[in-house]
Amino acid sequence: MRPRGLPPLLVVLLGCWASVSAQTDATPAVTTEGLNSTEAALATFGTFPSTRPPGTPRAPGPSSGPRPTPVTDVAVLCVCDLSPAQCDINCCCDPDCSSVDFSVFSACSVPVVTGDSQFCSQKAVIYSLNFTANPPQRVFELVDQINPSIFCIHITNYKPALSFINPEVPDENNFDTLMKTSDGFTLNAESYVSFTTKLDIPTAAKYEYGVPLQTSDSFLRFPSSLTSSLCTDNNPAAFLVNQAVKCTRKINLEQCEEIEALSMAFYSSPEILRVPDSRKKVPITVQSIVIQSLNKTLTRREDTDVLQPTLVNAGHFSLCVNVVLEVKYSLTYTDAGEVTKADLSFVLGTVSSVVVPLQQKFEIHFLQENTQPVPLSGNPGYVVGLPLAAGFQPHKGSGIIQTTNRYGQLTILHSTTEQDCLALEGVRTPVLFGYTMQSGCKLRLTGALPCQLVAQKDSCQLPGALVIEVKWTKYGSLLNPQAKIVNVTANLISSSFPEANSGNERTILISTAVTFVDVSAPAEAGFRAPPAINARLPFNFFFPFV
């Protein structure tokens, strides 16, 4: 039905003009719900002419269809928030950052956060920092952003196309409905059995290298310095990552009893999950408490009861006793990636007003279960007589997992009086830095012991010797040079032996050797270059002689 008194051609042209005007003219939005297409066109045509100055971009006008609803709320979207429960540097949208963190920011790494850039009009959040405030503050501004591109989504008639559709999983309630809507399918008994078998198999959960240690409520907190020397309590402890850090904490001595980071309970109360997302918990056991006095003397307590910081008035000044100065974690794990034991040691001290701010020390070490720990070489250089620091890499690109087990380091064959390789299977000798070593054993080949490595007809290709050459050099100061390994070469020497017939036997010698070669360059004392004299005389210095 068209308006009364207008010819049909005028109505068609009027509708076309209104459609173009809705895309280009910056007129106020007009609600057209409940109107037909002709009435909507007349309503748009009836608006007042635009008073937009020349050259001003045109905003999207009224639409005759549904507008796309943003799936993501840009006010809570933060693409630079990478660390859980920890403030990321220069990430102004990180909810874990406080005014103290903003004071060390240089700028916002992501100043503008928007949703889908294909929409013609969308919400945007602009972040900035107000450094004039004390302390610095984050400025949050939510604005409407207009897409200047002519290829943008202004009207959508199929909202599910804006996001991925979650498939409906069949169950006993909707199975009949899905059978009617589908084109039909056949059920394979073999695939059904394999599918149900996979569902019944629980996923193997274990800790991997670098994964944060989970607790009953969050993760095990290991304070450390972030961007400055100040302590940050939201740093997670990572599995198999040994750490030893020192940081400074600014405290108000009058409020020492209320600061959680100064109390033993803050470090001993969490319970570590045995494996990630598990219900089995490993409590943290306090093994020792050492009291440090103001004159630095140490006294070990006989009991391991949890002590609380206490403020004591001593004359004209105040003291806070039982303050945590050092924390040492010792976690025991299995080769299956499970945490089985957690020990904790404290050093408590007395803090006075003259030592504020307070310096704290935190350490965490991992020990493998049923192993014999051994001290490694020095830091940073190697020490003669200590094992070579070695480890294994689970997969390419990951970190190297280093073990403190003596027999988990770089080892060679162990020599005994029996000299029987099969009797000594699994017994190894660690390679010690600076020690040239050679060991071996005898292997008897009989008819009952067939050769598995056949290289030629009627012969065995067996590894007979392993020669390891370690090249090292001295670096650092001439007064205290440090040993550094620059190259390790391993040569495997194989030999061919005729395969022993039934009733005959042959004895071969399997040997390993390690040699250390010093490739240090001759030390040359360095001197500073003499200063250059850049003297300039005035142009009339030799007047009147020149």
Predicted confidence (pLDDT) per residue in 397-430, tens digit:
766 766 656 556 788 888 777 777 776 666 778 8
Q: H-type helices in 237-283, by residue range?
A: 265-268
Mean of the per-residue pLDDT values of the chain:
75
Instruction: Specify the pLDDT at position 199.
Output: 39
More confident residue, 6 or 517: 517
> Is residue 486 pLDDT above 70, yes or no?
yes
Is pTM, for the whole model, over 0.75? no
Asked whether the beta carbons of 459 and 403 are under 8 A apart, the reply is: no
Beta strands per DSSP E along 408-542: 411-413, 428-430, 437-446, 459-475, 482-498, 505-518
Asked whether the beta carbons of 213 and 207 are under 8 A apart, the reply is: yes
Nearest CA among 428, 461, 421, 417 for reference residue 444: 421
Instruction: Specify the pLDDT at position 491.
Output: 93
Q: Which of 22-36, 398-412, 480-494, 513-527 has the highest mean pLDDT?
A: 480-494
Q: Give the pair of three-digit tokens for residue 466.
A: 């392993």
Could you tell me which residues come within 8 angstroms of residue 50 by beta carbon, excluding any fewer than 6 positions away?
A: 25, 26, 27
Asked whether the beta carbons of 301 and 335 are under 8 A apart, the reply is: no
Could you tell me which residues come within 8 angstroms of residue 261 by beta carbon, excluding any fewer than 6 positions away?
A: 223, 231, 233, 249, 324, 360
Chain segment 330-372, per-residue pLDDT in tens: 999 988 889 999 999 999 998 887 767 888 999 998 888 887 6
> Is residue 164 pLDDT above 90, yes or no?
no
* 3-state secondary structure labels for all residues of 112-174: EEECCCCECEEEEEEEEEECCCCCCEEEEEEEEEECCCCCCECCCCCHHHHCCCCCCCCCCCC
As a whole number of angstroms, the distance between CA 82 and CA 109 comes to 13
Confidence grade of residue 195 (pLDDT, cut at 50, 70, 90): very low
Could you tell me which residues come within 8 angstroms of residue 521 by beta carbon, excluding any fewer than 6 positions away?
A: 473
Amino acid at 204: A
Confidence grade of residue 396 (pLDDT, cut at 50, 70, 90): confident
Chain segment 19-51, per-residue pLDDT in tens: 333 333 333 333 333 333 333 333 333 333 334
Asked whether the beta carbons of 342 and 285 are under 8 A apart, the reply is: yes
Instruction: Specify the pLDDT at position 48.
Output: 36
> Is residue 92 pLDDT above 80, yes or no?
yes
Instruction: Specify the pLDDT at position 326.
Output: 92
Instruction: Specify the pLDDT at position 1.
Output: 45
Confidence grade of residue 61 (pLDDT, cut at 50, 70, 90): very low
Specify the DSSP element, H or E, that contains 23. helix 8-24
Residue 462: half-sphere exposure toward Cβ, Cα within 13 Å: 19
> Is residue 233 pLDDT above 50, yes or no?
yes
Angle ∠(223,389,327) on CA atoms, nearest 5: 20
More confident residue, 428 or 80: 80
